[in-house]
Amino acid sequence: MSFLEKMMLIDRRWIYLSIGLAVIIPVVVQFEVPVSVSPEVKKIYDFVENLNAGDYLFIAVDYDPSSMAELNPMAEAVLNQAFAKDLKVIIVTLAQFGPGMVEDLTTRLAAAHHRVRGEDYVFLGYRPYPAITIMLMGINFRVPFPVDHYSVPLDSMPMMRDIRNFADVKAVIDFTAGNTADFWITYGVGRFDFPLAIGITGVMAADYYQYLQSGQIFGIIPGVKGAAEYEQLVGFPGKGKEQMAYQVIAHSVIIAFILISNIAYFATRKQKQQLGGGR
Amino acid sequence: MKREIPIIIVGVTGVVMFFQYFIPTGWSEFIFTYGQDWVMVIGILSLPLGIWSLVKANVLKLKDPKERFYSAVLLAGFLAMVLTGLKRESFEAGSVFMKLFNTILIPIQATVFSLLAFFIASAAYRAFRARSVLATVLLITAFLVMLRFIPLGPISTANLGAVAWILSVPNMAAKRAIMMGIGLGAAATAIKIILGIERTYMGRD
Amino acid sequence: MTTEQAILNGIAVFLTLCIFSFLYRDNPFYKFAERLVAGVATGYWTMLLYHTNFTDKVLTPIFVRGQLHYIIPALLGVLMWTRFSKKYAWLSRYSIAFYIGISSGVTITVTLYTFLFKQLQATIGMPITADYAGINTFLIVLAVVSALVYFFFSLPHKGAIGTVSRIGIYVIMIGFGAGFGMTVMGRIALLVQRVIFINDYVRGLVAFIGGS
């Protein structure tokens, strides 16, 4: 068996080891990666930046620990910007482990920006069935959430006094790893027509550009690269930017894998054809 | 009684909710709000079915010597969360309940999904080959999208423009066509359900 | 890093490594972590549903605020539990029927509006001009139509239809390729986060031990 044929049949665990080593390299050798900002990310930043202190921003933290690597950095960057601009933030989660994600985000960031729960931000909580929850919030936030996540009635909070539904917030920004983005677009924008932007995982990123072109959403933060771009715009270097060096090495290795396997494939195919064994 | 009444309920509620969209009056909104709110309450009460099934299955597995330890681990994890989460304040940062969430649930769930990085690398190596013209088109597109991450000076600048075009023109068009198909399919299925043609949701007698 | 953080994060690192051990082969450490997380996740969700959903949307409305109309959906919800009985399982269909009927009625309009009308409007509503944007608009129309033709099986894919359908499959392949490229980023991000977590812990632990 030739070397190339052996390369074609390499045990998967060698590939695993290569990827494992690739993501360890930046731990030892640290380097900066330039980040260029894409228009779909800049649009969200500009929108939030142009809001006035006291304006309301609605943030949906629709992800679980399984995708927090990509979505936490972007949610953190947007919340940092919102708190720094003194916006009033309403947060909800439609993911079953989302409350844990929100608790972590708000505890850290509210403390850093000296923001008070119930006065500067409110966490409505979690409800199952995203489509129904979104539609009910479109009528009145109080229908699905008579009290917030901590049992405080919404009417007792000064910041929620004149706030009824999506018509009273400047925009909704949804950070999601699943089809919740579709629910926000279909049952939210489709029925109540409010400005919506989404922060999504890399896996989903290519699937939402049609909504951007049709104007159903006004911006996309795609995956961890989008998060790094947003962090750069906001000026809070976080986990998104930190990930970029790792991404460079890992992508290089995967690209090398694709090249090697294709070279081996074509070389062995040619050999087989010459021997008359191939098609 | 067993099949006819559910079909009538589906038909009536479906038609009412369909026409409600076109009649934005106070009464119509009232029906919409209560209809949705009721569905949410029904849903909340039906979710424990899954929890009960999981717990029951693992209690039964305690009798199996091979599975006993792992089922006990599952039940111990479940009970630990239930007991530490009895108070509503347990959901606030710093509670034992949230510490268990942060120490056990976050690292395990995040790591389980991180295994996919290894699998996708393996898939890229084994299956991502230019076997045909179509496969080559797919491969080149993926290659260019991945190449965005590697700083290559002027090549990167040109590639960024190319990828932006790919995402916003052919990729967008492909996903739009798929999305239109999904939209038509979803609407057609909903109509079939309301008209009583599609009844699989009822299961068997 | 406090002693408590050192212990708790140490457990988190151990569980992370338990899951990674699956890469070699299935083993008891992996199974242990897998079952543990299933139990913890179910326990978390149970209490979340109880405190923030069952209490807020069922118990409080009926027993505290006296909104007695909530008794009707509550009873329909309880009917779902008849699924455990072979004899009375059919009663749960009443509850499912409300859920399915209401969801289906709402879905038709918004789905057609979002997935069809808005997408069609965005495809054909743009002017085709003799500049870069105009060329892209033309390409979008061509690509969307050809991809739709590829999925249209009521006519044989021969002649002109065949040619358009062939263009369609190339467009779809570009879409899938872009999706794969983005997916790699997503998957790597998940792994990198765990590597950063372990690295931060080890560095913190070394500093903690060195400082104490």
Q: pLDDT 10s digit of each residue in chain A, 279 long?
A: 677 777 778 888 899 999 999 999 998 888 888 888 999 999 999 999 999 999 999 999 999 999 999 999 999 999 999 999 999 999 999 999 999 999 999 999 999 999 999 999 999 999 989 999 999 999 999 999 999 999 999 999 999 999 999 999 999 999 999 899 999 999 999 999 999 999 999 999 999 999 999 999 999 999 999 999 999 999 988 899 999 999 999 999 999 999 999 998 888 887 777 777 544
Q: Of C112, A123, A148, C79, which Cα lies nearest the Cα of B38?
A: C79
- Return d(Cα A57, Cα A168) in angstroms, integer: 9
- Return d(Cα B10, Cα B4) in angstroms, integer: 10
User: Cβ separation of A149 and C52 shorter than 8 Å?
Assistant: yes
Q: Of B5, B53, B202, which Cα lies nearest the Cα of C84?
A: B53
C5 to chain A, any CB pair closer than 8 A? The answer is no
The tokens 């992996």 sit on which residue?
A: C30
CA B63 remoteness from chain centre: 33
The CA distance from A69 to the nearest CA of chain C, in Å, is 5
Q: What is the pTM of this model?
A: 0.93
Regions of chain B short of the pLDDT cut 50: none
pLDDT in tens, C69-115: 899 999 999 999 998 888 888 999 999 999 999 999 999 999 999 99
Residues from chain C contacting residue B48 (CB–CB below 8 Å): 46, 49
Q: What angle do CA A234, C194, A101 make, to 5 degrees?
A: 55
Across chain C, which has 212 residues, the per-10-residue mean pLDDT values are 93 97 94 96 93 90 91 92 88 92 93 94 88 92 96 91 96 95 92 95 92 72
Going by their DSSP bridges, the two strands A219-222 and A121-126 should be labelled as: unpaired
What does the pLDDT read at residue B126? 85
The CA distance from B150 to the nearest CA of chain A, in Å, is 5
Tokens of A183: 């629910």
- Number of H helices and E strands in chain A, helices first, is 13, 6
C63 to chain A, any CB pair closer than 8 A? The answer is no
Q: What angle do CA B87, B92, B97 make, to 5 degrees?
A: 60
DSSP string, A155-173: GGSGGGTT--SGGGSSEEE
Q: Give SS3 for A116.
A: coil
Q: Report yes or no: C178 and B98 within 8 Å, Cβ to Cβ.
A: no
DSSP string, A181-209: HHHIIIIIIHHH---EEEEE-HHHHTTSH
Whether the ipTM is more than 0.85: the answer is yes
B204 to chain A, any CB pair closer than 8 A? The answer is no
- Return d(Cα A57, Cα A121) in angstroms, integer: 9
Question: CA torsion, points B94, B98, B100, B103, in degrees to nearest 10?
Answer: -80
The tokens 């709000």 sit on which residue?
A: B33
- Contacts of residue C37, defined as CB under 8 A and 6 or more positions apart, other chains included, come to B77, B104, B105, B108, B109, B112
